[in-house]
Amino acid sequence: MTETNPTITPVANGPYLIDGLSILHNSHGALEAKAKMALCRCGASSNKPFCDGAHAAAGFSSEKLVGGTANRRDSYSGKHVTIHDNRGVCSHAGVCTDGLASVWRMGQEPWIDPDGAGVEKVIDVINRCPSGALSYSVRGTEHPSPPRDPAILVSKNGPYVVTGKTELVGEEFGEGASKQQYTLCRCGASKNKPFCDGAHWGIEFSDETN
C-alpha cells in the first residue's frame, strides 16, 4: 500500500481543505486533527482555526492583489556561504533579524551580510525560517530545508506554518521557496494569497484562542 502525503487545497473565496494530516497544533499545544478538515483563511471565523462559513458573510476574496512584494529571489554571496532570499513569501516572523542581527541588518544596504557570523549560526537561522523564504548554498551546492514531519502550526496571531511533505494543491510557489516549510495566510489580508506576506501585523490580527 502506497502512503500518500497530506494535502492542502485552498478553496476559491473559501477555506483551506486539509486531507490526511495527523499533526495540528497551536501555541498552547496539540489540537484534534481529523482526516478531513476545513481551516479558516478569511480571519473571521468564530471557531478559529476551523472554518465556520464566515467567509461568505465577510465577502472574502482569495485573489492575489497588486502592490505586493515582488516574487524574486536575491542572492548574497560571502566567503563561505551564499544566502538566498525571496521577500515575496516572507511572513516577517523576525527569526532572522532577531536571531542574527549581524547578518540580517535592518535599515542597511545590502541588508544581508553572509560574513556577519559563522556559517553554522547562519544555517541554523535559515533552517528556522518559517516561511521558507530563506535558503543557502555552500561551495555552489544549494541545500534544501531539513526533513520534518508533516504538520500545521497555528501561530499566535499569525499564519499557518506548514512543514514536511504537505502538498499545496494548485498553487505556484515563489522563486526558490521551500515546499517543505511555508506559511499560509489566515488573517485574510495578504496580497500574496494563499501565502502569508506579513499583513497580519499591519491589520493587528488577533486570535486569543490559539
Question: Tell me: the pLDDT tens digits for 139-164?
Answer: 999 998 888 999 999 999 999 999 99
3-state SS assignment for residue 152: strand
Contact 191, 63 (CB under 8 A): no
* Number of folded domains that form the chain: 2
Shared domain for 132 and 164, answered yes or no, is no
For residue 3, what pLDDT is reported?
62
How many Cβ atoms are within 10 Å of 139's Cβ, its own excluded?
A: 7
Question: What is the distance between the terminal CA atoms of the chain, rounded to a whole angstrom?
Answer: 36
Backbone region of residue 188 per phi and psi (left: phi > 0; alpha: psi in -120 to 50; beta: other values):
left
In a domain, 1, yes or no: no
Task: Sort strands 134-138 and 82-86 into parallel, antiparallel or unpaired.
Answer: antiparallel
For residue 2, what pLDDT is reported?
43
Shared domain for 108 and 135, answered yes or no, is yes
Shared domain for 103 and 198, answered yes or no, is no
For residue 47, what pLDDT is reported?
97
In a domain, 158, yes or no: yes
For residue 135, what pLDDT is reported?
96
Q: How many residues does the chain have?
A: 210
Looking up residue 18, the CATH number of its domain turns out to be 3.40.5.90
Distance in angstroms (rounded) separating the CA atoms of residues 64 and 85: 21
Looking up residue 109, the CATH number of its domain turns out to be 3.30.70.20
In a domain, 30, yes or no: yes
For residue 144, what pLDDT is reported?
87
For the chain, residues with pLDDT lower than 70 are: 1-3
In a domain, 208, yes or no: no
pLDDT, averaged across the chain: 94
In a domain, 156, yes or no: yes
Shared domain for 80 and 131, answered yes or no, is yes
Contact 82, 114 (CB under 8 A): yes
Is omega for the bond preceding 194 within 30 degrees of 0, making it cis?
Answer: yes
In a domain, 207, yes or no: no
Shared domain for 133 and 84, answered yes or no, is yes
Q: Strand locations in 60-185, DSSP E?
A: 73-77, 82-86, 134-138, 141-143, 151-154, 160-163, 167-168, 181-184
For residue 202, what pLDDT is reported?
95
* Stated pTM of the model: 0.94
Shared domain for 60 and 114, answered yes or no, is no
- Residue 154 phi/psi, 5-degree rounding, is -85, 95
Shared domain for 58 and 109, answered yes or no, is no
Shared domain for 124 and 154, answered yes or no, is no
User: Which structural domain, as residue segments, surrounds residue 187?
Assistant: 7-64+148-171+183-202
Shared domain for 57 and 80, answered yes or no, is no
Shared domain for 118 and 77, answered yes or no, is yes
If 0-12 CB within 10 Å is exposed, 13-18 middle and 19+ buried, where does residue 91 land?
buried
